[in-house]
Structure 1
């Protein structure tokens, strides 16, 4: 076992990223059953909606999974945290806000805390507040991103050097070579979002999955820079509309209205490229098949071991 497998009670050092309002029990449970850590992203969902996904996930797997709460995004963060305690969720992931006020009560309940960070400063604060594991997310990642725009390659070794708890790398990782590279940089594992979209168990629209299969190395775009709300999307017609609106001087409020979770669902769940957006990380260009989650994780670990062995032989 390495740092995160022992702390989180999982087989493989691979975590599923929270997916906001398109989160579901099927994919979450599949990741946990395959040996990784499945994650339910609370997004802007109501406490009742999140509770239903938690309960369904527990019928599909007895293995650990996490509930991800974006503190500055979720209007129901406190209620959802209470649900995690009530239903014996073993792991909670806190992002997009200050986790410190919430950690003590979660720890009292025996819950392990993962905190998402994007800088050394944030990492040190999270460790001091009591986080058990850090997910350090680089600018390559899909969806809402840090305005700091630091890449994963540069971010991981800097954070690893400054903290004493396990660090998980996120952003730009989708295969065993990516896992091996992050382990070589000192990370204890990886978190992936985009790669899990293109799996058999992921209940997302076939148009979304095919967009990932067809993606090239410049298939994603950044929207929201003009309003300080950076988000990485697949380059669809809707993403183009957002970029054009920014050129015309869109306000932060208008941008928020055009990037709601309801619009996200139109793209991801309905496959509507004209009226909804699809999150996608730079790793999209590496995706060439739609395996089962088990096949993906087994393959990644095997490939990572091979790459690390080859790398060692080169020295």
Structure 2
């Protein structure tokens, strides 16, 4: 593997934390970030992360074991904090001695961080505000990912560039901060590293890699798309705290709007509790994403993609993608 000295120097704290050659994480994309892509990213010097999503503990157990069979390099597991079996999923990670657990989707439930640390793993957290970031880092988070609204999947309301300017001057000296959202080229990586980030996270850039199991029709939809095709979902009812999701516009976008109305109606009739309503929305996304990624239904399924999708033009091996990103970053730093 080629060595990139300027980039490596700025990534060093992230490299030491992850145990990978480059401090480039793959975002956890349900149905996409599975054993094949995760292992390929780790084998190529990045840091793969299994997207647990709505998996049962049994499925996660099998996925971790299968990933271990494909790589001897470090990788992590992303767990959704609202998963009803979170405690059992953490236990599965413990049995496999997973080194890094990423907690996403909300504030970690009481005891979850401690349970992860009990088996020696590092905890990576997400935070949409600086105040929450500081709280999570004080409460045991070992590293933080700040993800802007340009990202694919579940998003917050603030852009990556603004989050970086707000968070990095406050946190970068004493904490490990990775930047995510809308990153498609190495020049952007260089800028965030110079601002104090220890690494970056990319999802969309890897979704159509040669090693990705995504259906050919799913990949073709990405190749045809440009940045403005990746739109955020609309919240229909203010009582239903639906986190916006960025995806390529299709019939599935309209179906989600209809699903929200259906769930809101159930809330009206008091036949559904709010927590269950939120779970129904999450299960909808899991099913819609599977239809697109696995079955190739790009009309009715969910084509979750970040705005960097316009930079995804062809199927490439993971190693080539990482090498290109590192080369672009190194060249950009060399011009400073």
Q: TM-score, normalised by structure 1?
A: 0.91
SS of 1:56's partner is: helix
Q: Which has the higher contact order (CA 8 A, sep 6+)?
A: 2
Q: Which residue of 2 aligns with 1:134?
A: 144
Alignment check: 8 A CA contact 1:171 1:281 kept: yes
The aligned runs of 1:255-270 (5 Å cut-off) are 256=281, 259-270=284-295
Matched, 1:308 2:333: yes
Displacement of 1:22 in angstroms is 4.3
| Bigger mean CA offset, 207-216 vs 177-186 | 177-186
In the aligned structure 2, how far is the partner of 1:76 from the partner of 1:41? Answer: 15
Deviation at 1:53, TM superposition (A): 0.5
What TM-score comes out, normalization by structure 2 length?
0.86
Q: How does 1:173-252 map to 2 (within 5 A)?
A: 173-227=183-237, 228-229=241-242, 230-243=244-257, 245=258, 251=264
Question: Shift in Å at residue 257 of structure 1?
Answer: 7.7
State the alpha-carbon separation in 1 of the partners of residues 191 and 313 from structure 2. 20
3-state SS, counterpart of residue 271 of structure 1? coil
Corresponding residue number in structure 2 for 1:103: 113
Give the CA deviation at 1:247: 10
Does the 8 Å contact 1:221/1:232 carry over to 2? yes
Alpha-carbon distance between aligned partners in 2 of 1:64 and 1:53, rounded to the nearest angstrom: 15
Q: Could you list the runs of 5+ residues in structure 1 that have no partner in the other structure? A: none
- What is the CA deviation profile of residues 215-265 of structure 1, one whole-angstrom value per residue up to 9, with x for unaligned ones? 11211111143343211111122224435x489797284982883312210
2: CA distance between counterparts of 1:297 and 1:232?
24
Q: From the superposition, tell whether residues 26 and 247 of structure 1 become closer, same or farther in structure 2 (CA, over 3 Å).
A: closer
Farther-moved stretch of structure 1 (32-41 vs 248-257): 248-257
Q: Quick check: 196-205 or 152-161, which moved more?
A: 152-161
Residue 113 in 1 paired to residue 123 in 2? yes
User: Matched residue of 2:145: which SS?
Assistant: strand
Alignment partner, residue 310 of structure 2:
285
Contact 1:44 / 1:76 at 8 angstroms: preserved in 2?
A: no
Q: Give every structure 1 segment of 4 or more consecutive aligned residues whose post-TM-superposition deviation is greater than 4 Å.
A: 246-250, 252-255
Asked whether the equivalents of residues 231 and 246 of structure 2 are also in contact (C-alpha less than 8 Å), the reply is: yes
Task: Tell me how far 1:13 sits from its aligned partner.
Answer: 1.2
Does 1:158 pair with 2:166? yes
Tell me which residue corresponds to 2:323.
298
Query: Conserved in 2, the CA contact under 8 Å of 1:207 and 1:271?
Result: yes
| Secondary structure at 2:50 match in 1 | strand
Q: Which runs of 5+ in 2 are unaligned?
A: 1-7, 268-276
Q: Secondary structure at the match of 1:290?
A: coil
Query: After superposition, what is the alpha-carbon deviation per residue over 1:122-149, rounded to whole angstroms, capped at 9, x for unaligned?
Result: 2101110121111111111111122xx0
Aligned residues: 307
